[in-house]
């Protein structure tokens, strides 16, 4: 399986706390975490030509992971168009944390991606689908000591599956793990992962991202997106006049 980890890589340039937690950037950390015998990982970042997401790279990507926050607007619309076409043709996507406001997430959802937010609080994550491939190896519930609070209402279309629900100390609840299918492509959104928190070091969070990558991985990618006029397969018994 070929995975491309995309990170805008902007906080890393100004906030030492982020590279303390994730040396080389969140993209490098996630790629190294995912790399194994059956996963071949590459990274791509905003400041590379074409955001690192050329046709060649996307043609060779089964699953694209997306982390972005402060620079969503700097992703050119033509890159958003291109990624959307690849999802429709079968490429899987995993959106992490503030990826909910990326242009490509909002394009694929057709909604705002808006939510409520505030600074860190304790988060309790509940598994709502205990027999789903994404929750394999994950307990019914676990906590993160400090994660950015996201709260409902979340501006998304009704998910295909809501796999995790979170409660935050102070009262908010949030649909923290959701899936959708768009065309031939599968999508998984997972909420934890603020850049100044050690969330991606958590073994359950890592397992969920790995499981998510496997779940969205297509049987076949780059399927044709055509709308052809055809002739009948068999003689027509009662032709219309
Ligand atoms: Zn955040």
Spacing, Cα 84 to ligand 1 middle (Å) = 24
**E strands, 53-115, in order:** 63-67, 92-96
pLDDT at 37: 86
Q: How far is the centre of ligand 1, averaged over its atoms, from the C-alpha of 98 (Å)?
A: 6
User: For residue 230, how far is its CA from the centre of ligand 1 (angstroms)?
Assistant: 49
* pLDDT tens-digit series, residues 148-191: 999 999 999 999 999 999 999 999 999 999 999 999 999 999 99
Ligand 1 center–CA 75 separation, angstroms? 18
**Average pLDDT score over residue span 33-46:** 96
Ligand 1 center to 195 CA (angstroms): 6
Measured CA to CA in angstroms, residue 165 lies from 102, 178, 185 at distances of 21, 9, 23
pLDDT at position 138, please?
Answer: 98
In tens, the pLDDT along 91-142 reads 999 999 999 999 999 999 999 999 999 999 999 999 999 999 999 999 999 9
Q: Tell whether the model's pLDDT for residue 67 goes beyond 90.
A: yes
Q: What pLDDT does residue 175 have?
A: 98
Residue 206 CA, ligand 1 centroid: distance in Å: 17
149 C-alpha to center of ligand 1: Å? 9
- 32: confidence class by pLDDT, cuts 50, 70, 90: very high
For ligand 1, the distance from its centroid to the CA atom of residue 211, given in whole angstroms, is 22
| Cα 55-56-62 angle, rounded to 5 deg | 90
Comparing CA positions, the residue from 42, 52, 110 lying closest to residue 82 is 52
- Residues 200-232: pLDDT tens digits? 999 999 999 999 999 999 999 999 999 999 999
Q: How many angstroms separate the alpha carbon of residue 194 from the centre of ligand 1? A: 4
What per-residue confidence (pLDDT) applies to 192? 98
Instruction: Give yes or no for residue 241 having a pLDDT over 90.
Output: no
Does the global pTM surpass 0.85? yes
149 CB contacts (<8 Å, ≥6 apart)? 116, 117, 118, 119, 120, 121, 123, 168, 170, 172
Q: What is the 203 CA–ligand 1 centroid distance (Å)?
A: 19
Q: How far is the CA of 148 from the centre of ligand 1 (A)?
A: 6
Q: Write out the H or E segment, with its range, that includes residue 86.
A: helix 77-88
Note whether 129 and 223 are within 8 A (CB): no
């Amino acid at each position: 399986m070929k995975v491309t980890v995309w990170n805008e890589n902007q906080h890393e340039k100004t906030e030492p706390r982020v590279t303390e937690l994730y040396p080389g950037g969140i993209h490098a950390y996630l790629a190294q975490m995912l790399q194994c015998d059956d996963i071949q990982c590459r990274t791509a970042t905003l400041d590379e030509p074409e955001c690192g997401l050329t046709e060649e790279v996307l043609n060779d990507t089964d699953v694209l992971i997306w982390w972005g926050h402060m620079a969503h607007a700097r992703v050119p619309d033509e890159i958003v168009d291109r990624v959307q076409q690849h999802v429709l043709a079968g490429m899987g996507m995993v959106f992490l944390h503030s990826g909910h406001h990326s242009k490509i997430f909002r394009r694929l959802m057709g909604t705002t991606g808006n939510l409520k937010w505030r600074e860190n609080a304790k988060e309790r994550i509940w598994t709502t689908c205990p027999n789903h491939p994404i929750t394999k190896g994950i307990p019914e519930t676990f906590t993160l000591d400090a994660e950015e609070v996201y709260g409902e209402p979340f501006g998304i279309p009704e998910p295909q599956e809501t796999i995790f629900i979170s409660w935050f100390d102070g009262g908010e609840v949030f649909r923290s793990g959701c899936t959708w299918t768009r065309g031939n492509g599968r999508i998984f959104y997972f909420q934890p992962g603020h850049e100044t928190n050690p969330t991606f070091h958590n073994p359950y969070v890592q397992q969920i991202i790995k499981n998510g990558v496997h779940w969205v991985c297509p049987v076949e990618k780059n399927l044709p997106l055509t709308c052809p006029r055809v002739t009948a397969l068999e003689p027509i018994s009662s032709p219309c006049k």
